[in-house]
Amino acid sequence: MLKKKRIAILTGGGDCPGINAVIRAVAKKAMLEHGMEVIGIKDGFEGLIHDRHRKLGPSEVSGLLTLGGTILGTSNTSNPYRYAVKNGNELIFKDVSKTAVANLKSLGVEALVCIGGDGTLGIASRLMNDGVPIVGIPKTIDNDLRGTEVTFGFDTAVSIATEAIDRVHTTAQSHHRIMIVEVMGRRAGWIALYAGVAGGGDIILIPEIPYTLKAVRDKVQERKKRGKRFSIVVIAEGAKTQGGDVVVRKIVETSTDPVRLGGVGFVLGEQLEKMIGTETRTVVLGHLQRGGSPTAADRILATLLGAKAVEAVVAGEFGRMVAVRRGEITTVALETAAGGPRTVPRGHPLIAAARALGTSFGE
């Protein structure tokens, strides 16, 4: 009997609505259309380093379309080229990439499908250069990956953030408060922009447009003069004042991206209360944005990207990332995703439309 072709799937970085839908699409197409065996690597690159994996059959990938998270587990601290190990009380970093490559080769797989953001796909690009045949699938709620116009998980995050903004409106109106909603977005303000517009935010603050406290104060006071005794501020966690810096919550040394942001909404709230005297409340959505069931749009996108990834494997198009370009599902060079964040252009039509309706961006 001819030996079945075998592929592996890995999910790295933060969890994201739609990962399981991608796993389902990759595995089902590989098994049903091409008769492949599918191996799931557990806990991202951690599983590759320590040779932890599981076989994915039809029953393992059934019912995943609506399920949040990832059935394979994930890790954002397991870079095989900079793997943290304890040496007594000291934390040191080792290059264990050869072990990871050897473990993968021992599985007899013909390709590795990597689902992740810029960190995961950057590592995947290096593994590709070390001889591992890889196809990448872009994943991040931040929608900030280069090479693709949209990533799965973004639509779900925007929907969750928009609902939260809708809900704080009633509290803001009832108590005549400034309500600040802090959303994710370390380097790019896509979630804040889209959810802020969809939720009717009066002030939207994103990393791409540094703000001034004076501009925020002036917008709140202008609304007061018009009889609007409340204001809604939507702020990305990576937003900062002109000439200022981001608010860092903590540093995780073992992570591929050690800086953890968070709390800029509280800082802004305290500043506004002192300047204006209006009661201010801050809501930080945090991981609520990345949990739970994906929206219909994300389920569809995840399915399209997963199916395209298998096509790339079959065609031998390794070192590529599946992507959305000009509305079409295609592939781009894998290293494109590691080329820095895709930020919101200042001339984005949604910014222009929001400004035309009276929204302030804190300038």
**112 φ/ψ sector (left φ>0, alpha ψ -120 to 50, else beta):** beta
How does strand 248-251 pair with strand 259-261?
antiparallel
Kindly report the backbone phi and psi dihedral angles of residue 202, in degrees, each rounded to the nearest multiple of 5, phi listed first: -80, -30
Selecting among 142, 144, 155, 202, the annotated active-site residue is 142
Report which of 4, 114, 8 is spatially closest to residue 54, judged by C-alpha positions: 8
Cα 304 to Cα 292: distance, rounded to the nearest angstrom? 20
Q: What is the mean pLDDT of residues 122-134?
A: 94
Give residue 255's pLDDT. 65
Cα 60 to Cα 20: distance, rounded to the nearest angstrom? 11
The angle at the Cα of 171, spanning 167 to 174, to the nearest 5 degrees, equals 140
Residue range 157-291 forms a domain whose CATH class is alpha beta
Q: Measured between alpha carbons, how far is residue 31 from residues 24, 34, 56, 105 in Å? A: 10, 6, 10, 20
Q: What is the mean pLDDT of residues 118-131?
A: 93
Indicate whether this model's pTM tops 0.85: yes
- Whether residue 189 is predicted with pLDDT greater than 90 in this model: the reply is yes
Name the maximum alpha-carbon separation found in the chain: 81
- Whether residue 1 is predicted with pLDDT greater than 50 in this model: the reply is no
Dihedral sign for Cα 348, 353, 359, 363, please: positive
131: confidence class by pLDDT, cuts 50, 70, 90: very high
**3-state SS record for 285-333:** CHHHHHCCCCCHHHHHHHHHHHHHHHHHHHHCCCCEEEEEECCEEEEEE
Helices 154-175, 190-198: crossing angle, 10 deg rounding: 50
Report which of 306, 310, 331 is spatially closest to residue 320, judged by C-alpha positions: 331
**How do residues 210-259 score in pLDDT, each as one tens digit?**
999 999 999 999 999 999 988 999 999 999 999 988 878 766 666 666 66
* Domain ranges across the chain: 6-152+294-338, 157-291
Which residues are CB-contacts of 255 (< 8 A; sequence separation ≥ 6)?
76, 77
Asked if 142 is an active-site residue, the reply is: yes
Q: What is the mean pLDDT of residues 179-189?
A: 93
**How do residues 4-56 score in pLDDT, each as one tens digit?**
799 999 999 888 999 999 999 999 999 999 999 999 999 999 999 999 999 99
3-state secondary structure at position 281:
strand
> Which tokens go with 358?
């009276």
Label residue 227 exposed, middle or buried (CB < 10 Å: 0-12, 13-18, 19+): exposed
362: confidence class by pLDDT, cuts 50, 70, 90: very high
CA 298 to mean position of chain CA atoms:
13
Q: What is the mean pLDDT of residues 109-128?
A: 94
Read off the DSSP letter of residue 256: S
Terminal-residue alpha carbon distance, the chain: 68
Cα 5 to Cα 11: distance, rounded to the nearest angstrom? 21
Fold match flag (6-152+294-338 vs 157-291): yes
Give residue 181's pLDDT. 96
CA 307 to mean position of chain CA atoms:
20
Q: Per CATH, the architecture of 6-152+294-338 is what?
A: 3-Layer(aba) Sandwich (3.40)
